[in-house]
Amino acid sequence: MSADKEPQSEPAPDIDRLIHEPARYNIMALLYVVERADFLFVRNQTNLTPGNLSAHLGKLETAGYVKIDKEFAGKIPRTFLRLTESGREAFSVYRHRMRKLFTSPPEARFQNLKGKIKKMLSAHDEDSGGSDSM
């Protein structure tokens, strides 16, 4: 069978690495189920330090996934966090792709590659006369 006619295996889904990092995944998952959340609430729910949470939020904000709003309750500053529309869409796509990854195991996707490797090894053995000596 020629290379043109071999069945193509389905590639692994492209996973958003920004969301895939565990701390950012937890932030995104938490904000996905609420309209908005207070910084302290997110910090307590994720068990991140204020500095670590701020750093992760900065990356998510730069990507356009999170909106950070600062307000005052009297003289007390409060920080509220929410997912943007693109953040909601990105998290939804991430969930879909992860679900697809887990329901379509690598063995099924890479059967074609396994056959190609066997052919290459057979060709190499024939070229070297089947000898393992150097």
User: Do residues 18 and 24 lie in contact, with contact meaning Cβ atoms separated by under 8 Å?
Assistant: yes
Q: Which domain holds residue 91?
A: 17-127
pLDDT confidence tier of residue 42, bands split at 50, 70 and 90: very high
**In a domain? residue 65:** yes
Q: Which tokens is 96 given?
A: 């879909």
Q: How confident is the model over 54-79, as a mean pLDDT?
A: 96
**In a domain? residue 8:** no
H or E segment to which residue 97 belongs: helix 85-103
Answer yes or no: is pLDDT of 134 > 50.
no
**In a domain? residue 132:** no
**What CATH number should be reported for the domain holding residue 89?**
1.10.10.10
Bridge-partner residues for 99, per DSSP? none
Measured CA to CA, the distance from residue 102 to residue 17 in angstroms comes to 17
Answer yes or no: is pLDDT of 1 > 50.
no
**In a domain? residue 3:** no
pLDDT tens-place string over residues 78-130: 999 999 999 999 999 999 999 988 887 666 556 666 666 777 777 766 666 65
**In a domain? residue 133:** no
The domain total for the chain is: 1
The reported pLDDT for the residue numbered 89 is 98
